[in-house]
A and B are shown apart, each in its own frame.
Chain A
């Protein structure tokens, strides 16, 4: 595989389609600059600022655009809110659509057959694989990302975090809690 890819890169470079330094920069961007901390900042802000939360649920792309400290976000982002009555989970059954700018590149499991096949049929079983159990009467809503709209789950703020700063709250926000396959950490986990 390594040799075939090197060959393709050589051909494309010799033809003047791409410069290797640009490829390096793309890789570096996804390895170091874009990741789930972006999404965590947005969630923490929504937990502390009701006006921002309303704007986020209304039009996530526009609301995030107003935050200077989070990387810019493309169009068509939709934030969906978890409540005691409803849990949201995001999948792409057709390929691997994922809110890259908020969460970085998706993990292998998100792109692999077990998750893509089961999330829309047996989400409670999938959640069990993640060690998550929800009350039997909680509605589960699965969002299949079949177009260029992207989804970010806004998890519920953990109890016992009254008065916390946005930065500290952001530490509770896990990648999986923004996909809907996990829950935020609780305050005790943070101390350990």
Chain B
């Protein structure tokens, strides 16, 4: 959504509760469990939410989006039948989750984020201080390259190791680890001459998102 206009002021709720409704908490927990047990990984989950119809995405609350995505994805991935969703109960045995039932003993495992760092398959292609361009790619599948930087030039500021590549992970095509860089852009490069001259914006860019200049 970076750079879109017209959404108005940021509205801050004072003393906001962790959840506004009990069902929000259940959706959060169910979604975490289906991820932790290897059923629907985090990248698939994100793509599921992004793939909701735009009018649904823009008008739904945060956890409503989570629910609509997870309900759709447990069916798509073969863990639950559409008829079972309609019936509101299990009608048959379906395939097991890769890591089995999620029990109380598994809680500690998800209280700390997993590691996404992987052994580098090859040396990094870019170095700190190097000027690079964000590639103008527009895949219909999942990507973490925000639209507002595509085609723009920036500077590599940090090299953050080699990480699971969301673009393939979201499609169930494996981790294909890629070097991850912090690339910083001048606001005038992104938004034109009228932009705030004191502003710099960085993204976390996987190596395939970048090209040499």
Q: Which residues of A contact B (CB under 8 A)?
A: 1-2, 4-12, 14-19, 21-27, 29-31, 33-34, 71-76, 78, 91, 93-96, 100-101, 104-105, 107-109, 111-124, 126, 129-130, 136-150, 181
Main secondary structure of the interface of A (DSSP, over half): mixed
Tell me whether A1 and B111 are in contact (CB under 8 A).
no
A107 partner residues in chain B, CB cutoff 8 A: 12-13, 16
Tell me whether B90 and A11 are in contact (CB under 8 A).
yes
Q: Which 6 A-B pairs have the closest CB atoms?
A: A74-B113, A93-B2, A147-B204, A14-B90, A7-B88, A23-B29
- Checking A5, A16, A27 against B101 with a beta-carbon cut-off of 8 angstroms, the contacting residue is A16
CB distance from A46 to the nearest CB of B (A): 19
A93 partner residues in chain B, CB cutoff 8 A: 1-3, 146, 148
For residues 30 through 48 of chain B, which have their beta carbon under 8 Å from a beta carbon of chain A? 30, 32-34, 37, 39, 46
Total A-B contacts with CB atoms under 8 angstroms apart: 263
Please tell me if B25 contacts chain A, counting CB pairs below 8 Å: yes
> Which of A6, A105, A118 has the largest count of B CB atoms less than 10 A from its CB?
A118
Tell me whether A148 and B196 are in contact (CB under 8 A).
no
CB-nearest residue of chain A relative to B70?
A: A8
A147 partner residues in chain B, CB cutoff 8 A: 116, 144, 160, 163, 166, 180, 204-206
Number of B interface residues in the complex (CB < 8 A): 91
Tell me whether A9 and B30 are in contact (CB under 8 A).
yes
Expressed in whole angstroms, the Cα–Cα distance for A109 and B62 within the complex equals 10
CB distance from A154 to the nearest CB of B (A): 16
For residues 102 through 123 of chain B, which have their beta carbon under 8 Å from a beta carbon of chain A? 102-104, 106-107, 110-117
